[in-house]
Amino acid sequence: MKNTDMRMHVQGKSVFIDDITAPDGLLHAVLFTSPVSKGRLKNIDISKAKTAKGVAAVFTHKDIPGKNQIGHMILDQPMFAFDEVEYIGQPIGMVVADTRKNASKACQLINIDIEKIEPVLDPREAYKKGLIHAQKRVLTNGDVEAAFKNCKYIAEGTIDSGPQEHFYFETQRGLAYPVEDDKIKVCASAQSPGAYQHHVAEILGIPMHKVELEIRRLGGGFGGKESTAVWVAAPALAAKLLNRPVKLALTRNEDIATSGKRHAYSYDYKLGLDAEGKILAFEIFLYQHAGACADISPAVLGRSFLHTSGSYYIPNIKVTAVSCKTNIPPNNAFRGFGVPQGTFSIETAIQHASEIMGINPIEIKKKNLLSDGDFLPYGMRLEKTNARRCWETLDKQTDIAKRIKSVEEYNKNNKNFKRGIAVIPVCFGISFAQSTLNQASALVNIYIDGSVSVSAGAVEMGQGVNSKIQSIAAKTLGIPVNFVHIDTTNTSRIPNASPTSASTGADLNGMAAKTACEELLLRLKKYIAKKTNYYILDEILINDGVVFLKGAKLDFTWKELIAEAYADRTDLSCHSFYATPAIYYDRIKERGRPFAYYSYGTSITEVLVDCVRGTYDIESVDVVHDVGQSLSKEIDKGQIEGGVIQSIGWATIEQIKYGKDGKVLTSANSYKIPDIKFVPKKFNVTLLENSNNPYAVCNSKAVGEPPFIHGLGAYYAILSVLRGIRKDKPFPSLPLTPEKVFMYIRE
C-alpha cells in the first residue's frame, strides 16, 4: 500500500493552507517581534503603522479578549509580550492589512522602546544562575559510586550537540474565518488539533466548541508544529476582532529566525567498564538549551533522560537532567524528541572508552547490547527485544568486521583521504512519555451508497498515516481501499485529539479506526444473520466487498448490503476510542513502564574525509530496522530513508549560528540541508523480518522517529577519522561541519 496522497501531489492538486481559495475580504497578518533578547518593554508606538497604506488594524497584548498565554506545558509564554521581552523574535503584536507586503511595511513603522537587560545565552551559565524550566530530574539505579570503584576503564568528559532547524517546506501558518454565532474556524498547519484548539479558545476567551480547527495536511511538520500555537492563534485573534478572514504565513527567514529548533545540549559523562569491556556504570548530566520559555522542552528533556542508556544494558546509572532557560527563541519538538541527544550521550562515552581501551567501539557495543530480561534504568524489564537480531542481520548482510578491516587497510595506504566507519544500534521507546496523551479516537461513517469516510485525530504530514489508516479500515471492513476516504482532521468530528507525534499516529489512531470498523462489521454481520437467518457470525465474512456465508459467496454486493442495512435501520456510523493499555510512570520514583514497546535497528555508516580540505562524502549507509509487521513497506522504507538523511544533516552540515546578542544569524541561504548529491550513493534499508509486536495495531511498529538515530553514524564515522589523525584535543561537538573537521585537523 503506497501513500495514496501521491497521486494528487504529483499533479500539484494537493491543497495546503496557501492553496485554499482566498475568501472574499481576506486580510493578511504579520507579527512584529522583539529586536532585543532581554529587556523591559517600556512603550509600543503603533500610531504610524495604524494609518499606513492598506492597514486594517494593529493589535498588541491589550487587544487580547481572553488570556494572553500560549504556554504549552507551563504558563510562561504570553502570546504577545506585555512587560518584558525574553528573546529576539518574540511576538509583541501584529499588523493586519490588505496585503502581506503592506502589513510587512507597516511593521517597520512601529517603534518599540525596550530597556535592555544582559541576556543569558549559555545553558550551563543559566543552570548556575538557577534559570531552569520545570524541575531538575534525577534518576538513579544501582550504586554508581560503588560501581565506578570496580571499573578498570573510566571515560569521562564533556561534549555538546547542536540545534537543528526543521525546515518543513510549508512554513508556520494559519487561515482563520469568522463563522456565525461568534464561532471561528481555523485551517491550520498544526500537529496538535486538540491543544491548538484549546490555545485559540483561551486567547479568544470563548469556549472550545466555538473554535473549529481543520487540518487537511501539512507540508512537513517533524515536530515543529506541535506546541507553539502563536502562528495559528494570531490569525484567529485577528479574524475574531475584525470579523474578517485573516491569513498568517511566515516567510522562510521569519520562520528560521523565530521558531523553535531541535535543542542543543551540553553533556558531562562518565562511563565505567570492567576489563572485558562490560559497562558497569554510567553517570550523565544533561543540560538542555531550552530557550526563553518552557514550550515543550521539559517533555523533550524527559525523553532524553529516559534514553541515555541507548541500546545497552547498564546496571548502575545516574542521570541528571535540567532544562535551561536562555534568551533564544524557545526550542520545541523535532523528530526524535530528545532521544537522539540521549543516545548521543552514551554513544560518545562508548567511543571515548574504546579509545582508552584501544579497541574498536563495536566490541563494547556488542558486549553490552540489550537482551530479553534486561532492565532499563527506570525499572522496565525488556521482552521481545530485537536489538541483537538487528545487529546480527546487519552483520550477516554487510560483514561488519570485514568492512572495518577494509577501512583500516585503506587508511594505511592513503594520506590525504581517510575513511571512517561507525555502527549504531537503536532502541527507541514508543508511546508518549506523558501517559495521558496515549489516547485517540476515530469516527467511521458508512454512507448509503457504500462509501466509507474515516476521521481520526491523526494529522497527515507526509508520513503516510492517512494511507495506513485507510488500509486498516478497508482490511477490517473487508472492502477495497478505494471505498474508503480519509477525511480532514477536524476538532468538531474528533475532539481532544492528542498531537500526531511520538511516532504514535498510526499506532493510536489506526487502532481507534480499527475498533470502530470492527464494531460496524459486527453490526453488518448481525444484519446479514437476521436476513439469512444464520446466526453463527464467525462464518459470515466480507472480503474485497463480497459477502460470504459458510465460505459461499452471497449474491449481494457491499453496496446492496449497506443499502439494506440502512433500510433496516442499522447504525452505520461508529465512533471509537483507544488508549494504550498498561503504561504508567511515577515521576517521583522515576520508575515505571512509560513505553508500550521499543523499536530497534542497527546501521553501518561509511564516510570518506578529504583531510586537506576538511570536506567529506557520506559514502554508504546500510540500515536494518525493526518495524514489526509493516503496515506499508513503501511508506516505512520512506520514513526510514527520510529520517536517516535528516539526521545525517543534523550530525554534519546543518548548523544554526547565534549572534552574541542571541539573534539567529542563519537564514535560508546559509542553512544547508541535504541535497540529492549529498545522499550516500550506497543506501540500503532492510526491514527486519519476522518481527511481531502485539502492542500495536496489526502487529506493526511505529516508524516516524526511531530511524533518526541511525544518522548519528555519520558523526562517529567522521569522528573516527579525526581521532585517527589527532588525539590531543577533546572530542569535537556535533555537527561536524566541514569547517569543524578542517579546524580539528589543522588548528
Partner 1 sequence: MLKFIINNKIVETEKSAGMILLDFIRNEEKLTGTKEACREGECGACSVLIGKLNESGKMEYKTCASCLLPIGDVKDCHIVTVEGLDMPDLTLVQRLIIENSASQCGFCTPGIVLSLTGYCFSSDNFDYEDAITALDGNICRCTGYAAIRNAAKALSDSLLNNKNSDKNKRLELLADMEIVPKYFFDIPEKIKSLKSRCNQDLNDDTAVVAGGTDLFVQKPDKLEDSKLYFMSGRSDLDYIKSDDSNLLIGGAVNLEEFRKSETVNKYFPQMKNIILLHSSTILRNKATIAGNIVNASPIGDMSIILLVLNAALVIECKSRGLREVKLSEFYKGYKKYDLIGCEIIREIKIPKPSQNFYFNFEKVSNRKILDIASVNSAVSIKFDGNNNMEDLKISAGGVAPIPLLLKGFDEFTGKKINSENIKKIAEFSVNQVAPIDDIRGSAKYKKLLLKQLILSHFEKF
Q: Cα–Cα distance between 508 and 518 in angstroms, integer?
A: 15
> Considering the complex, what minimum distance in angstroms separates the CB of residue 135 from partner 1?
35
Residues within window 226-265 making contact with partner 1, judged by CB under 8 A: 251-252
The strand pairing partners of 472, in sequence order, are none
Among 148, 167, 196, 305, binds partner 1 (CB under 8 A): 167
Nearer to partner 1, 101 or 128 (CB): 101
Contacts to partner 1 from residues 723-742, by CB under 8 A: 737-739, 742
Task: Give the span between the Cα atoms of 710 and 626, in whole angstroms.
Answer: 12
Using the minimum distance from each CB to partner 1, give the nearer residue, 148 or 167. 167
* Spatial contact of 583 and 432, defined as CB atoms under 8 Å apart: no
| Beta carbon of residue 712, minimum distance to partner 1 (angstroms, whole number) | 15
Q: Distance between CA atoms of 105 and 268, rounded to whole angstroms?
A: 47
Q: How far is the CB of 705 from partner 1 (least distance, A)?
A: 14
**Within 13 Å and on the Cβ side, how many CA atoms surround 711?**
29
CB of 645 to partner 1, least distance (A): 3
Identity at 353, one-letter amino acid code: A
Q: Restricting to residues 562-621, which ones interact with partner 1 according to CB under 8 A?
A: 612-615
Q: How far apart are alpha carbons 418 and 656 in whole angstroms?
A: 27
Compare residues 361 and 505 and give the one whose CB is closer to partner 1. Answer: 505
Cα 65 to the chain's mean position, in Å?
32
SS3 content of the chain, % helix, strand, coil (to 5): 35, 30, 40
Contacts of 177 (CB under 8 A, 6+ apart): 23, 184, 185, 186, 239, 245
**499-528: which residues touch partner 1 (CB under 8 A)?**
none
Q: Is 51 or 251 the residue whose CB approaches partner 1 more closely?
A: 251
222 is a site residue for partner 1 (CB under 8 A) = yes
H/E stretch holding 592 reads strand 591-593
Give the Cβ contact number of residue 678 at 10 Å. 15
At closest approach, how far in Å is the CB of 657 from partner 1? 6
Site for partner 1 (CB under 8 A): which residue of 139, 155, 218, 421? 218
Site for partner 1 in 646-685 (CB under 8 A): 646, 653, 655, 657, 665-666, 668-670, 672-679, 683, 685
| Closest approach of partner 1 to the CB of residue 333, in Å | 16
Q: Binding of partner 1 at residue 438 (CB under 8 A)?
A: no
Query: Exactly one of 60, 171, 348, 720 binds partner 1 (CB under 8 A); which one?
Result: 171
Residues 6 or more apart whose CB falls under 8 angstroms from that of 46 comprise 58, 60, 93, 110
Give yes or no for a cis peptide into 178 (omega within 30° of 0). Answer: no
Candidate list 165, 212, 590, 705, residue with the active-site label:
705
Q: Which residue lies nearer to partner 1 by CB, 7 or 209?
A: 7
**Could you tell me the smallest distance in angstroms from the CB atom of residue 6 to partner 1?**
5
Grid coordinates of 173: 501558518
How far apart CA 744 and CA 747 sit, in angstroms, is 6
Counting contacts by CB under 8 A, is residue 168 touching partner 1? yes
Rounded Cα distance, 507 and 695, in Å: 9
Closer Cβ to partner 1, 74 or 745, answer by number: 745
CB 79, CB 93: distance < 8 Å: no
* SS3 at position 423: strand
**Of 107, 353, 472, 645, which one interacts with partner 1 (CB under 8 A)?**
645
Residue among 58, 97, 644, 698 that touches partner 1 (CB under 8 A): 644
38, 185, 217, 514: which one contacts partner 1 (CB under 8 A)? 217
**Residue number, 201 or 611, with CB nearest to partner 1:** 611
494 interacts with partner 1 by CB under 8 A: no
Closer residue to partner 1, CB minimum distance, 16 or 556: 16
Residues in 682-701 that interact with partner 1 by CB under 8 A = 683, 685
Active site residue 539: no
The residue among 110 and 151 lying less far from partner 1, judged by its C-beta, is 110
Footprint of partner 1 on 325-354 (CB under 8 A): none
Residues 101-140 contacting partner 1, CB under 8 A: 101
What's the CA dihedral at 490, 494, 498, 499 to 10 degrees?
-20
Residue 352's closest CA among 361, 363, 343? 361
Comparing CB distances to partner 1, the nearer of 542 and 703 is: 703
Interface pick for partner 1 out of 78, 638, 704, 706 (rule CB under 8 A): 638
Name the residue type at position 66: G
Q: Which of 63, 160, 355, 634 is close enough to bind partner 1 by CB under 8 A?
A: 634
Q: Report how many residues bind partner 1 under the rule CB under 8 A.
A: 74
CA-based nearest residue to 16, from 171, 166, 165: 171
Give every strand in the sheet of 484-486, ordered side by side.
484-486, 452-456, 439-446, 573-579
Measured distance CA(295)–CA(299) in Å, rounded: 9
Question: Cα separation of 18 and 291, whole Å?
Answer: 30
Backbone φ and ψ for 496, nearest 5 degrees, come out as 55, 35
Write the binding mask 7 to 26 for partner 1: x where contact by CB under 8 A, - elsewhere.
xxxxxxxxxx-xx-x-----
Tell me which residues in 445-464 interact with partner 1 (CB under 8 A).
461-464
Alpha-carbon distance of 78 to 60, in angstroms, equals 11
Q: For residues 648 and 161, what is the distance between their CA atoms, to the nearest angstrom?
A: 13
Can residue 53 be called a binding residue for partner 1 (CB under 8 A)? no
Catalytically active residues, by annotation: 705
